[in-house]
Structure 1
Amino acid sequence: MTLKLTLLPWLFMLFLSGCVSVPLIGSGQTDPAQTSDPTQHARRFEQQGNYLAAAKSYIQLATKAKPPLQQEYYLSAVESYLKGNMFVEARIELSRLNLAPAPQLMPRQQIAAARLDIAEGQPLLALQRLQQVVPPPEWRVPYQQTQILALEAQGNLVQAVQARVALSNLLTTDRPALLANHDQLWKLLAQIPDTQLTELMRQQQKEVQGWVSLALLVRHSSAATRLPLLLSNWQSEYPQHPATIDIIPMLQQGKQPTLPVASRRIALLLPLSGQFKVQAEAIRDGFVAAWYADGGANNRSEIDIQDVTGKNAQQVYQEAVNNGATVVVGPLERDSILQLASGQSSLPVPTLALNYVPMPNYVANLFQFGLAPDREAVTVALRAWADGHRRAIVVVPQGAWGDRVGAAFRDTWTRQGGQVIRTQVYGSDNISTVLKALGNASTDAVLLGAYPREARMIVPFFTGRSMAIYGTSAVYSDAVQRPDLNRDLEGLLFGDMPWVLAPDSSALQLQNTIQQQWPALYREHSRVYAFGVDAYQVLRTLVQARPGTQHQGQTGLLTFNNNGDLDRGLMWARFINGTASPMSSDGVQRMAE
């Protein structure tokens, strides 16, 4: 099966990429080389990229300082954690911050909180938070960068372009940051359809018109020999435009400062028959639905969908590359991924494997992405730890799934320094007996691995004992939204994906399309369809991804780590009156909209 598909550039990067440094408010401009500056060690750690050490250094300074400098140091620690993508640690420190002695720091605190909103998959909440902020002059750049991140995470690329143009006007004295912003602005323009660019051209701002006009000119210049003349005409119309600093020279030299819009071919390798047929079909259909929503047959790339059930992974992969694939998505099965990577130090084209497999060595061009339950369990345990719990009971079912989730709970908890009081394993027919065996175990948190039916039997046992209960997404079925049934889950906090808990407008459109085509399968496999959607949409970032690159997906905030794996951040919700209610990044229950 072959379809046309456009591979778009990445959606967005961390707002700290290329950003200017901002001095501590009230402390004056500082130089790490000056021995009189108490922050010199922390700043040196930041320059080295050691954000954990930087945060700890700021915290140490805070413990010895008095307000309001103490609050500045604590806030600097939060910002260092955010720069290092350590969102759990940032949450803990932000929750402790008392700005009563330093109200002037509130805009800065709100910017940090908005970054955490984005990291937890809530860009709309971040934008609402930022609307209440009037940043002082020294914080206008971080404010604008955070707003851009939120707009890009929402998929609101038109407003993001306008915001990046405004950011350029704030970066006129910082050339490296200005050029980095131009690069991101150009990549955004490459993602926007002609119809929206044409509409954007109608606004009065000459600088925005110049950027859009240049993007359209390059996109529709089919002959390289005509491009110099077209660029010369553009420069005559926009003689002082910021793009003349860097984008125009690159184009004049025959270089393309972003991903080319030329034809691409994507191979999608899935086991479409056999044991994983249903899951593979849901991934395929989510993938194609996202492609169709992205322009479908009007775009100029191709997707080659192949059934690889029972075939040699390396052989199928090499055939796809030989046939012109510039990007490969798949395989799905763990054995096939191992087979593909065996003996390899690098793959010939960027490859997104749809599962996680430990690798004995790093394989360049191999990225791994999945919905692994044990990875969710790690995130859930970290959340419980961040909420201040230190003694936990692990409750999981018999079988391979329960073994993986239970091991992830225990390993994560003990690595943090917590105490696992007991691991209780249950079967579907002995839950009451197993729970009674717990007696009056002294603990302050329960880490639960369970599906909805079992969770409804287990949770009441602990809520009656005033214990905090945390679960993975398995506890919740969005197909069974019945408060009368889910009241037994009252108080349970669990992590899930935005697609399920708070879908944005683009997700709702995709869900409507998918449910119309496959209503029965969607009810049972909604998360797998979202996985397929993200497998397509994350290709925007794949080609140029580096550690720390982020993509706000339908399954959560996806962050590329040092191994090329995508770590998935969860959205959090708590059962209240039988309804799963999403929570904001600061732990406050969101009001129904």
Structure 2
Amino acid sequence: MKPHSRTQTLAVMLVATGVLALQSCQSVPTERPAKKPPAAAAEKAERTGEYLRAAQEYERAAAQADDRQKQGLQLKAVETLVKAGQIAEARVKIQEIDTARLDPALRARKHIIEAQIASYAGAYDDALRLLNEAQRTRNLAPALLADIYRVRAAAELGLGDPIGAVKNLIVREQYIAGKDAIADNQLQLWEILNSLPRATLKRELQTSIDPVLAGWIALAIEVIENSGRPGLLAKSIRVWRQTYPSHPASDLLLVELSSSKPGLVGRIDRIALLLPLSSSYAIAAQALRDGVLAMDAANPDPDKPKIEIYDIGNDPSRAPEYYTQAVSDAAQLIIGPLGRQAVDAVVQQADLTVPTVLLSHTRENTEPLPGYVFQFGLPPEQEARQAAERAYLDGYRQAAVLYASTDWGQRMLGAFTNYWQQLGGILLASVPYNPAQNDQSKPIKHLLNITQSEARKRTLEARLGRKLKFEPRRREDVDFIFLIADAKRARLIKPQLNFYRAPNIPIYATSNVFTGKVDPTRDTDLDGIMFGDMPWMLVNDGKIQDLRQALERNRPYAHSQLDRLFALGMDSYSIIPHLNRISMEDAARFSGVTSGLSLGRDGRLQRQLLWARFSRGTPKLLDRFIQYTGQSRQIKSDSDKTRAPAPRS
């Protein structure tokens, strides 16, 4: 897989670091073997990918554990926060752990986690310093040494030294056991080498004195030179094995490289882009198309893949025909189609034989897709779940929801409620409002129990037979309100919430409350509302600003709702060379302009949004630790070529 090259001005993406797979903290045996270990619930949640819940359970177990277990469990809580993408929260939590009281092995483990957090922030030099500290510890267990070399490899990659990263992974193999672990390590190593151009590999082969490294580089050259010719490739790999008979490359990897099965890491010469350009969604499709083409134009590599655009028209049911045609036209990777109906049609009817980035999520009950098929979109339900997650991490437990009485509002309510309750939160009330009306006093009063307060007043007046001086009181048990509204409705609702004595209740919302254009005059009424959005919409300086100014195709969409679709197109193109990496390891992440992206077990790319609060009508970033500036720490090479993603296991 190969990163797209960029000019220095148009450097775009952070090379996200590998995710730690540190060993679980071992529980001290108790006198009653039948008793569950204190972290049993946390370990179960972690195994099923419920990382935020796992972090909470580890913290709960740590609070009840003795000193021998406490700090190990605290470190596990931080690790799972990192896996959940909650990097800022992880940084806060790890600083609370008393280093002085840690034994040497736990102190080293803490440094490893801190190094990973630093890498997420792009502070790769700091990460290497922390790893050096960890490695100075005597008699470290092989598992910790393996983690050190893994995170060191990721940091070297972030600093633009891919061969340095490969060297670290070669050393790492000495400290890991088990065929699966070794295979994963070799696949990561291979993915880095396979991302490099042939000229770079040949230069490195001439200077390499390590026979293991030289063997890996020679193998990469053989695969690149014989890509697309299965017979010659298989023969060249057999000759390579004869030349390097004792090389550690597994036979399983060699067989996989020799095969022609879909999704195998390889060179991409042709990308098909399937969009409804002549449909009622033409404007949205054009914005996404222009995002893809903008990133393609920013790639100066003369051998970059050719992009073929297919207009799938206004009938989603015909999308499978265009998909099949694209495959017949020798597309080696497909981006699209766009839209739930078209995606469902392709998934149900087309033969998915090439790596594909679907531009929407399939229905929840869809059968599992091949590991080389990825789902990437901007589903609002994903934002609703992140609002629940953010509120929970902010320490709130009792929620009230005010939602639009529309299909969209119902779906958002369902997504928020389900995830909020999974986290252990309590939903006190959920009240619909009519988005066609300006006066929302009735649903707001109902949400805040003011209606009940007024009813009590009327009852007392009837009993006493006289009017009473009365000031209605709202309920006091609401920790926060989740507001499901667009910008127009939110501008009307927030002042009414203030009027009904709720100016200090925290309000969370989704990106729908922000039009994309900073408008202090109109958005002053939104002051106090917190919402999640993509870095492309919220970061107005640094590399993202440089990139925005440099991309001519962005200008018609800048600071509008369509800008988000333009960004989706940008990341759809830019993430291609990183799909292997995020497929190989739990919670590995790609930092794009739409957000930090990680891959769920269902093949869906999960976005980790940036959070902001309206102040004086302007969104102000709340997350300052993670610098979403679009800065790239890409592999430095003299030529780039895109690679297809490998299958997920």
Query: What TM-score does the superposition give when structure 2 sets the normalisation length?
Result: 0.69
The one-letter amino acid of 2:362's match is: V
**Could you tell me how far apart the structure 2 residues matched to 1:144 and 1:489 are?**
48
1:561 aligns with 2:600: yes
Say whether residues 1:446 and 2:484 are aligned partners.
Answer: no
> Residue 577 of structure 2: which of 540, 543, 550 is its match?
540
- Preserved CA contact (<8 Å) 2:42 2:58: no
C-alpha distance in structure 2 between counterparts of 1:583 and 1:164, whole Å: 37
For the 8 Å contact 2:535–2:593, the answer to whether it is kept is yes
Given that 1:197 and 1:212 are in contact with CA atoms closer than 8 Å, whether structure 2 keeps it comes out as no
Which of 97, 119, 123 does residue 121 from structure 2 map onto?
123
Residue in 1 that maps onto 2:412: 405
Aligned partner of 1:309 in structure 2 is 313
Name the amino acid aligned to 1:528. L
The equivalent position to 1:358 in structure 2, one of 351, 360, 363, is 363
Q: Give 1:97 deviation, angstroms.
A: 8.0
Match of 1:71 in 2: 71
Of 260, 268, 280 in structure 2, the residue corresponding to residue 275 of structure 1 is: 280
Q: Deviations over 1:536-558 (max 9, x none)?
A: 23333557836846441321232
How big is the shift at 1:370?
Answer: 0.9
Change (3 A) 1:73 1:505: same
Aligned equivalents of 2:382 and 2:614: distance in 1?
Answer: 22
Give CA-to-partner distance per residue, 1:467-498, whole Å, 9 cap, x none: 11212122234432x55665554443221123
- Higher-Rg member (1/2): 2
SS of the residue corresponding to residue 384 of structure 1 reads helix
- Separation in 2 of the partners of 1:99 and 1:319? 57
Q: Is the 8 A contact 2:275 2:312 kept in 1?
A: yes
> Structure 2: how far apart are the matches of 1:253 and 1:361?
28
Distance 2:588 2:286 in 1: 27
Deviation at 1:232, TM superposition (A): 10
Q: Name whichever of 69-78 and 193-202 sits farther off.
A: 193-202
Greater relative contact order, per chain length (Cα 8 Å cut-off, separation 6+): 2
Q: Which residue matches 2:354? A: 349
Tell me what 2:376 maps to.
Answer: 369
Q: Indicate the percent of aligned positions where both proteins have the same amino acid.
A: 25
Tell me the SS of whatever aligns to 2:503: coil
For residue 193 of structure 2, what is the amino acid of its counterpart? L
| CA deviation profile, 1:212-242 (whole Å, cap 9, x unmatched) | 964774476469599689969997xxx9xxx
- State the SS of the aligned residue for 1:465: coil
Q: Among residues 326, 332, 343, which one is paired with 1:326 in the alignment?
A: 332
Kindly indicate whether the alpha-carbon contact (under 8 Å) linking 2:527 and 2:614 is maintained by their aligned counterparts in 1. yes
Q: Distance in 1 between matches of 2:16 and 2:113?
A: 16
CA 1:94 to 1:484, structure 2 compared with 1: closer, same or farther past 3 Å? same
For 2:212 and 2:545, the matched residues in 1 are separated by 30
Matching residue's letter, 1:124: G
**What letter matches 1:386 in structure 2?**
L
Q: What amino acid is the match of 2:555?
A: P
Q: Structure 2 CA distance, aligned partners of 1:102 and 1:274?
A: 64
Structure 2: gaps (5+ residues):
5-12, 451-473, 632-649
| Structure 1 position 271, deviation (Å) | 0.2
Q: Report deviation, 1:178.
A: 5.9
Q: Do 2:273 and 2:335's aligned partners in 1 also have CA atoms closer than 8 Å?
A: yes
| Aligned position for 1:420 | 428
Residue number in structure 2 paired with 1:246: 249
Pair 1:255–1:276, CA change in 2 (3 A): same
Match status 1:497 vs 2:534: yes
Matched, 1:517 2:517: no
Secondary structure of the corresponding residue to residue 122 of structure 2: helix
Tell whether the 8 Å contact from 2:611 to 2:622 is kept in structure 1 after alignment.
Answer: yes
Which secondary structure does the structure 2 equivalent of 1:318 belong to? helix
Match of 2:168 in 1: 166
**Contact 2:46–2:54 (8 Å) recurs in 1:** no
Q: CA RMSD in A?
A: 5.1
From the superposition, tell whether residues 281 and 7 of structure 1 become closer, same or farther in structure 2 (CA, over 3 Å): farther
The alignment partner of 1:169 has SS state of: helix
* C-alpha deviation, 1:331, in angstroms: 1.7
Counterpart of 1:191 in structure 2 is 195
SS in 2 for 1:124: coil
C-alpha contact 2:58 2:74 (8 A) present in aligned 1: yes
Look up the equivalent residue of 2:249 and give its one-letter code.
D
Matched, 1:392 2:381: no
Q: Give, in angstroms, the shift of residue 73 of structure 1.
A: 2.1
CA distance in 1, matches of 2:293, 2:366: 33
Counterpart residue type for residue 526 of structure 1: D
Q: Does 1:528 align with 2:565?
A: yes
Structure 1 residues 520-529 or 166-175, which shifts more? 166-175
| Pairwise CA distance, 1:308 | 0.5
